[in-house]
A and B are shown apart, each in its own frame.
Chain A
């Protein structure tokens, strides 16, 4: 908290004040990033592990808090997402080294990783804590400093979470200020952060306006676009398995992940069976009147009705004035056309799934392309099929950079339930006006200095096996004249305070990891 000083002359909204606020926060981050580059891989991973464990331990608390603050989603699913973005993220990248140089003897090239510096991370209201966890851990694994700007609708929970992670990082020996949060984000303030020369890269997850503004900031940006995933159920698919996956995916956190299926496309041969299978799994197939009610409720003149984001199916039905059985997980709305005139073919961050029967495969592919033309280009698509030719025709056709096959799309495209990189930031690439087309990971926050030797065979390559890499660790604490030294105990010699987790041995740690992995598997299985 900043000190409360009675101001007679209020300037806090002035450009000068906003810029100065941003500069002071960002310069502290720059300092942290410069100190962080003195850390070796073991220490860096120790910090990332410690923070991941704390994030995992707090997953439930922040899941409840996020649902309460935003009104979006399902607390149990949010807890799971918060867990998935903690320890498993660090484990996933454990074998990748973003810290030591890579020596290529054959090419006579040494590649030295160079962290971006200061990451400005914008987080959405829909997946607030999962995104915070994810981006913080990416930054730590790559020795970057990060400043998080929470979505105003999830401000309090994010501020608290970031502060908890920052404390965990410092407790584990990370440089002061390597994780910070903008406590009172306003649009003009965020614009100052985004355009500051002290920001190295803007990592933007959220609405289109915010992402475009990140790209216009004059700083390098990794922004992601909205989703609107088509899912094609081919008659060759295991229809009941497909139905179950789709219902589970749509009901997972009430479709709040931007990777959720938006429009189901199938063919006449599968239509009847699929509808029955969907019903069996808890889908309610809407009649024409109900579909029209949903169409009017979900879409306003201004766009999608945010009141419905992450709400459950029965709640939405009730809001529209019709009743569905209390166990209904998703609402399925049959539609005849896809495109501007059919609002239900747009992105819906709620458990409502549009359902379209195409006449033939060619038409189905064209319709799937049309879904993504409407919105969600470069994002995600899914297919359920046993036919490789259909699968590849579909994947080559849709303008999406991830096509999930025979898996729930919400989780699958984000790397949970598939072997894609687990992420909470989906690169929408050139199709989606973004700089990166894959799932965002730590590799995107590091560039490499390449030392290239003379290719002439007569010129020998160096021996880099015994090289000092300047990993001197934290700066030693400067003495404070007139006081015993050290004062703060943050000098390199002083033992690093370890969190309660830090003291557990490797075996206990492995067990813990096992436990977490199993928990996640069970939870996901339960939803399959």
Chain B
């Protein structure tokens, strides 16, 4: 590490976040991201990393995508954040574009937050208003954000710390892929909404069982609960369709998109709302106020993101990348069958499973040393989140696989002991 970097890390601890800064040093990941371009990150000491973390799809189209930078720059010649009180050109144009591309014909309106967490809060408030019920059902180890309501739907790790966990029995959590538990939670008909990540991200992308999500939707209909699709990580073409829920035939009542929709340049969160649950927008349109929500610069970027991800070439390339990565990863898995034990995949949403309860952490470390940045799943550290970008080139995919093969081998030796026998192909 350079003296400059060492000095910087000290300052980071002093002025920004001592705990988080130190945690990374403890995990032997001394990354300080400086320059970034496309799917490359450059550490402040100049080392290049291929980014497969992408912050939950925030950088789906790459870092500083030139077309998005151009549209943001051009937008500043006309717009700023805007005045959230008034009808606004960009906010309405984006709403129109989102409604047109929504996964359900019932979706009629879009409300805005300044990011994903706020958007989830808006979605939950909307559901409560529409249903006139308070209870929200979510999945154990779900992750929907850290704001007031969103944090209560997730793991207590993030709420108890701040004495913000649910204490009134309004937030119920059921295990993923367990339809009986879901039905038990719903059958009193006192639930306003079920909120589902189409594929739970922070939990390491466990895949829904065939038929699970449609069955949940059916249960919602049977027991008068609304279905909120959290498409923050599965949306925007990562699964090969614009919205992941469409892949499973789900037409949600409310849908949330964030992260990637801002193109990594201007944060924005969007709540797509069905007419049948949009009551508050008629009754009291000032009901939710957000000065930064739906900032018009963000709306302009988001419209471009929406247009770009839907280009037929992008959709087709996503499929090829996912097939190519799968084939390559299966070869690597065959090489280390005692350690690399599973691939969870739907399109470019991928989780690599390791045969150790913290297995993804050493893999992350060795990938980092070998020029690839991918992060472990916070709520299931056996699983490495593996998220290639929508526009990742053939060359870079090959580079990734080459480096991943080396990194996993080193991690395996660290975890299982280098003495144990490796299978040679």
Contact = CB atoms under 8 A, between A and B. Distances in A.
A325 interface: no
A-B complex: 6 closest residue pairs judged by Cβ atoms: A481-B207, A478-B326, A16-B70, A482-B208, A20-B67, A475-B323
Contact of A24 (B69, B300, B349, B391): B391
B208 A480 contact: no
A28 B75 contact: no
A175 B300 CA distance: 35
A6 to B, nearest CB: 5
A477 interface: yes
A158 B391 CA distance: 27
Given A2-B307, A11-B74, A27 B210 contact: no
A503 interface: no
7 contacts: A19-B66, A20-B66, A23-B391, A27-B393, A476-B327, A480-B347, A482-B247
Interface string A1-35: 01101111111001011011001110110111011
B58 interface: no
A180 B312 CA distance: 11
Given A24-B311, A30-B395, 7 more contacts: A6-B93, A7-B307, A9-B71, A31-B320, A177-B317, A478-B345, A481-B199
A488 interface: yes
Nearest to B312: A2
A175 B323 CA distance: 12
B212 A7 contact: no
Contact of B303 (A7, A198, A480): A7
B325 A16 contact: no
B167 interface: no
A482 B197 CA distance: 13
Given A482-B210, A488-B319, A2 B70 contact: no
Contacts of B248: 482-483
A482 B303 CA distance: 30
B311 A2 contact: yes
A481 B208 contact: yes
Interface in A174-211: 175-177, 180, 198
B327 A5 contact: no
Contacts of A32: 320
Contact of A8 (B93, B306, B317, B324): B93
B345 A477 contact: no
Contact of B69 (A16, A30, A31, A478): A16
A376 B299 CA distance: 55
Contacts of B75: 8-9
B322 A478 contact: yes
B183 interface: no
Contacts of B70: 11, 14, 16-17
Contact of B320 (A17, A20, A35, A476): A35
Contacts of A475: 320, 323-324, 326-327
Given A2-B311, A481-B199, A482-B213, A30 B393 contact: yes
A147 to B, nearest CB: 10
Contacts of A176: 316, 319-320
Interface residues of B, number: 60
A484 interface: yes
A492 to B, nearest CB: 10
Given A17-B67, A475-B323, A34 B316 contact: no
B403 to A, nearest CB: 18
Contacts of A479: 326, 345
A160 to B, nearest CB: 16
Given A176-B316, A479-B345, A484-B210, A9 B74 contact: yes
A75 B89 CA distance: 51
Nearest to A481: B207
A482 B207 CA distance: 6
Interface string A438-476: 000000000000000000000000000000000000011
A481 B345 contact: yes
Contacts of B65: 20
A11, A32, A175, A488 — most chain B CB neighbours (10 Å): A11
Nearest to A24: B313
A17 B313 CA distance: 15
Contacts of A488: 319
A176 B319 CA distance: 9
B145 interface: no
Given A5-B307, A482-B208, A16 B313 contact: no
A129 to B, nearest CB: 23
A9 to B, nearest CB: 5
B386 to A, nearest CB: 12
Given A176-B316, A475-B323, A482-B346, A8 B300 contact: yes
Nearest to A34: B394
B90 A27 contact: no
Interface in A284-330: none
Interface in B92-112: 93, 96-97, 100-101
B385 interface: no
Nearest to A27: B393
Contacts of B304: 7, 11
B103 to A, nearest CB: 15
B284 to A, nearest CB: 28
Given A17-B70, A478-B326, A3 B310 contact: yes
A484 B349 CA distance: 17
A19 B67 CA distance: 8
A104 B218 CA distance: 67
A482 B212 contact: yes
Contacts of A35: 320, 324
A10, A25, A478, A483 — most chain B CB neighbours (10 Å): A478
Contacts of A14: 70, 74
Contacts of B395: 30
A14 B240 CA distance: 28
B421 interface: no
Contacts of A28: 313, 316-317, 320
Interface in A472-523: 475-484, 488
A149 to B, nearest CB: 15
Contacts of A482: 199, 207-210, 212-213, 247-248, 346
A481 B78 CA distance: 44
B9 interface: no
A30 B320 CA distance: 11
A478 B199 CA distance: 17
B239 interface: yes
Given A11-B71, A27-B317, A477-B323, A6 B97 contact: yes
Contact of A177 (B89, B208, B313, B344): B313
A226 B233 CA distance: 54
A24 B314 contact: yes
B321 interface: yes
A482 to B, nearest CB: 4
Nearest to B244: A482
A23 B314 CA distance: 11
B367 to A, nearest CB: 21
Nearest to A198: B393
B281 to A, nearest CB: 21
Contact of B101 (A3, A8, A11, A17): A3
